[in-house]
Amino acid sequence: MSALTERTRLGLEVLATGVVLGIAGDALLRATPWGLNAFLCTVALAAAAAWLVYRRRIAVGRDAPWLAMAAVLLGSNFAIRDSDALRALDAMGLAILLALAGFSLRGVALRGRDAWEYVRSGVVAALSAWFGVWPLMARDIRWSELPTGGALRHARGAIGGALLAFPLLLAFGGLFAAADPVFRNVVATALHVDFSAVASHLALTALWTALTAGYFWGALIRRTPAPAADAQALSLGIVPVGTALGLVNLLFLVFVVIQLRYFFGGAELVQSATDLTYAEYARRGFFELVAASGLVLPFLLGADWLLRDASREHQRTLRQLSGLLLALLGVVMASALQRMRLYVAEFGLSETRLYATAFMIYLAGAFAWFALTVLRGHWRRFAFGALVQGFAVLGGLHLLNPDAFIVRANLARPAVHRPFDAGYAASLSADAVPDLLAALPSLEDADQCRAARRLLSRWTPGGARAVEDGWRNWNLARARARRAVREQAASLGALTCKQSPR
């Protein structure tokens, strides 16, 4: 009997960790919407990674502890905030952190890496999670090294015999049950099993097992060299890249000149030129400008990558053209934010408008960081700084509490053209409930009725749209909302009765 190699030991421990996490995932994550369960699973994943690293004495990057703490912090938000948009952003943040942790678990530092290496790490981590369990079981775990004698041999033989007998038991049992009703009743009573539920649990456990074991395989076992920080870039030359940048600059310049007219001309010029009110003009253009601004960053990064090995003169030309585009883009983004200000003043604040504005704020910071790093030749610093800025904006959104902020902002807005939309406010997540309840007495009677009806429907046990949480998906915001509405249920019910048609 040969001793287990270090690779087989690590492979078995990765597989066992995947099985444990798979069982935990099936037991916890079935309860939706996610809350405490997502936090517990995040903690379990971070603890499993720490255990594997400690047990196998694996040398990891110095960023690994910070990534683990950031992942746990993001996971805790599932148990605190109730906003669907924030949960989606938290899930995206966790996916990014897991992809970067794959770097760090292989001993690679995150600082000094190109943005494209971050993208590649995400793709590799995703492929490893989905498909890595197969090479783990087929190649990296050498099953021939496992001991074959003693009790283990008898246990494996018994399991094999049970698997062989299973189809025969089904066939003979079905025939006997069809032949004798008494036997059928005895078997049905003894084996009262919901096979669809069993299949569902097995499928979900297998899925989480495969994903976690595959991810750890990609991070700890997969045989690939660490990415080189100074990989040579492909160069197209200054003529095609400069021409593309020049044409884009020309297009932005034309647009900026037109925008400056409307900045100084005001609502009268907009209405005479477009037959739209200033608010309608703002509403039509903001999201298009957000999309255009978002496309500029990968374009500039690609241009810099293509000329990274060019001569100093060509790089200077590239930076001048890029700097001009950033200056023009600053005017475009200022126009977009001005449109959003007018948009909100006319129509009020909503989730889409708030998150789009937050994205613009992140882009402004990223472009400023681009100018401070890439345009000065320090391209290695850009990707990590832009990543940190993204998580800072996400953290700021959590501190802001978007749904509660939307309610407060719309309540404070002068209702010149459009009154406060109580129905929309009541349709927001549990994060908005305390502020809405506090403002309820100051609303119009019809708005009080509409908001009270929706709040009772969503946050009381007998409500038509109420969904109770168990301990697995417990959430602080939802618990507070239910308690607050329950405490005011009598007064809310009186409002709905008073306003309901007779």
- What mean pLDDT do residues 343-351 have? 84
Range with lowest mean pLDDT among 99-108, 139-148, 224-233, 284-293: 224-233
Q: Give pLDDT tens digits for 238-291.
A: 889 999 999 999 999 998 887 776 654 454 545 555 555 555 665 666 778 888
Model pLDDT for residues 80-92, shown as the tens digit of each residue:
999 999 999 999 9
User: From CA 231, how far away is CA 309, in angstroms rounded?
Assistant: 10
Whether pLDDT at 1 is above 50: no
Q: What pLDDT score does 416 carry?
A: 65
pTM reported for the whole predicted model: 0.85
The first and second tokens of residue 90, run together, are 């938290």
Q: What is the dihedral of CA 346, 347, 350, 352, to 10 degrees?
A: -90
Least confident stretch, 12-21, 144-153, 426-435, 438-447: 144-153
335 or 376, higher pLDDT: 376
Identify the CA nearest to 94 among candidates 118, 70, 63, 119.
Answer: 70
Q: 374 in helix, strand or coil?
A: helix
In this predicted structure, the answer to whether residue 182 has a pLDDT above a threshold of 50 is yes
Return d(Cα 210, Cα 128) in angstroms, integer: 10
Q: Is the pLDDT of residue 479 over 80?
A: yes
Q: Name the residue with higher pLDDT: 229 or 60.
A: 60
Which residues lie closer than 8 Å to 397 by C-beta, 6 or more apart?
86, 89, 355, 358
CB 354 within 8 A of CB 402: yes
Are the C-beta atoms of residues 341 and 353 closer than 8 Å to each other?
Answer: no
- What CA–CA distance (Å, rounded) separates 426 from 360? 27
Residue 500 CB burial class (10 angstroms; 0-12, 13-18, ≥19): exposed
- Residue 464 and residue 486: Cα distance in Å, rounded? 15
233 pLDDT above the threshold of 70: no
Predicted pLDDT at 199: 74
Mean pLDDT calculated for residue range 423-429:
93
- Give a three-class secondary structure readout of 416-464: CCCCCCHHHHHHCCHHHHHHHHHHHHHCCHHHHHHHHHHHHHHHCCCCC
Report phi then psi at 253, rounded to 5: -65, -45
311 — pLDDT class (breaks 50, 70, 90): confident
As a residue count, the chain comes to 502
* Cα dihedral across residues 49, 55, 59, 64: positive or negative: positive
* List of residues 6+ apart from 97 with CB closer than 8 A: 67, 70, 71, 74
The pLDDT score that the predictor gives to residue 501 is 46
Span 49-72, average pLDDT: 93
Looking at residue 229, its pLDDT comes to 47
Q: Whole-angstrom Cα distance, residue 296 to residue 316?
A: 19
Residue 216 clears pLDDT 50, i.e. is over it = yes
